């Protein structure tokens, strides 16, 4: 079968590899769509830990081709989405109900072969059944939507809150939609790319800011002198995090959702955090949110078509990676 492989750092190859064999508790899935996450180029360039060589792709959905003999609840022809994060179940974090922080976590597309291939092995316990009428290209959003739901839960956006989102890429676009569903009275999107600002406006953003032309901190403070209840950084940019901390109100929450370079740091006053009762949170992974994500996408409450903007065949995967992150794209999906 054809697959995209990262054999080593800074290198990607299209390769022919044997079709994987189905274990007793596994599903063999014919991959229909697999989204490119910002983590994938990070893996390629050594900015995120992975096991090489690896077939990447951890946001994917497809059709069950074969079922292991010990599997119940699935049959060939079922449509499924994969939860890539496989927990050990026995470490102190797993036993404390914090499996997303599992000491021994391994992930499809990071440590095990993932979805940038014609076929993938998915442990049955990692698979979520999908309605057959749901476009599989949209189902590839299940994992990123699940991660965003986790961030939204932790940020505790309430009806009437004012929210800012730095970064109008795929995750920012999902956060925008989720904040609107939560009843936010204003959602402000900050992004330097014109195309992404236009897409955010079309999705319902109340105000879009080009930080290259309008410094966001004074602009937001002029409109909302007390600041905003919740600020998300979905850009992974430390400058945006600093700006977010300048516009969050007293008693508000700053959600560091984007993945910043691990070597970069910012200075912050512990007195200021205490005096203003600021909550600074991170959000890691997708614990117990995959089912909700599938439900949102299947119900059409979340507009997946507005987020999935570009499709590439597997043989054009390198081109798909080059397109990722441009002003014209949001979520780029590879369709094996």
- Please give the CATH topology (third level) of the domain spanning 146-282: Rossmann fold (3.40.50)
Q: Where along the chain do its domains lie?
A: 2-141+302-335, 146-282
Mean pLDDT of the chain: 97
Q: Mind listing the pLDDT tens digit for each residue in 94-116?
A: 999 999 999 999 999 999 999 99
Query: Does residue 120 surpass a pLDDT of 90?
Result: yes
Query: For residues 333 and 311, is the Cβ–Cβ distance under 8 A?
Result: yes
Average confidence (pLDDT) over 195-206: 97
Query: For residues 124 and 68, is the Cβ–Cβ distance under 8 A?
Result: yes
Q: Mind listing the pLDDT tens digit for each residue in 45-62?
A: 998 999 999 999 999 999
Q: Which residue among the candidates 22, 39, 253, 329 is catalytic per the annotation?
A: 39
Q: Could you tell me the pLDDT band of residue 273, with boundaries at 50, 70 and 90?
A: very high
Q: pTM for this structure?
A: 0.96
Buried/exposed code over 256-281 (b: 16+ C-beta within 10 A; e: otherwise):
bbbbbeeeeeeeeeeeeeeeeebeee
Judge whether 2-141+302-335 and 146-282 match in fold.
Answer: no
Parallel/antiparallel/unpaired status of strands 11-16 and 26-35: unpaired
Structure tokens at 251: 């008693």
Residue 316 catalytic?
A: no
CATH number of this structure's domain 2-141+302-335, picked from the four choices 3.90.180.10, 3.55.10.10, 3.40.50.150, 3.30.70.1290: 3.90.180.10
Query: Does residue 327 surpass a pLDDT of 90?
Result: no
Average confidence (pLDDT) over 299-306: 94
Structure tokens at 224: 């909302």
Q: Which residue among the candidates 10, 22, 42, 310 is catalytic per the annotation?
A: 42
Residue 238 catalytic?
A: no
């Amino acid at each position: 079968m054809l697959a995209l492989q990262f054999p080593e750092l800074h290198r990607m190859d299209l390769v022919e590899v044997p079709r994987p064999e189905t274990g007793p508790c596994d599903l063999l899935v014919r991959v229909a769509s697999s989204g490119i996450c910002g983590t994938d180029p990070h893996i390629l360039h050594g900015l995120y830990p992975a096991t090489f060589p690896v077939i990447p792709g951890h946001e994917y959905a497809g059709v069950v081709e074969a079922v292991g003999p010990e599997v119940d609840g699935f049959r060939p022809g079922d449509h499924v989405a994969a939860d890539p994060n496989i927990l050990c179940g026995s470490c102190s974090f797993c036993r404390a109900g914090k499996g997303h922080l599992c000491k021994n976590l391994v992930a499809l597309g990071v440590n095990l072969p993932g979805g940038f291939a014609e076929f993938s092995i998915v442990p049955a316990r990692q698979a979520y059944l999908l309605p057959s009428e749901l476009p599989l290209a949209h189902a590839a959003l299940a994992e990123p939507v699940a991660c965003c739901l986790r961030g939204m839960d932790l940020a505790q956006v309430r009806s009437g809150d004012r929210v800012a989102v730095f970064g109008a890429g795929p995750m920012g676009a999902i956060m925008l939609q989720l904040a609107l569903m939560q009843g936010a009275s204003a959602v402000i999107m900050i992004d330097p790319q014109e195309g992404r600002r236009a897409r955010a406006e079309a999705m319902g953003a109340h105000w879009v800011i080009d930080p290259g032309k309008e410094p966001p901190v004074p602009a937001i403070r002029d409109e909302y002198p007390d600041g905003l209840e919740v600020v998300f950084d979905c850009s992974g940019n430390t400058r945006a995090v600093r700006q977010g901390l300048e516009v969050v109100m007293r008693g508000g929450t700053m959600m560091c959702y984007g993945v910043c370079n691990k070597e970069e740091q910012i200075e912050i006053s512990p007195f200021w955090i205490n005096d203003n009762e600021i909550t600074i949170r991170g959000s890691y992974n997708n614990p117990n949110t995959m089912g909700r994500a599938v439900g949102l996408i299947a119900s059409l409450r979340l507009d997946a078509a507005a987020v999935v903007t570009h499709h590439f065949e597997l043989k054009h995967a390198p081109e798909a990676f080059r397109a990722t992150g441009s002003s014209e794209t949001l979520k780029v999906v590879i369709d094996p």
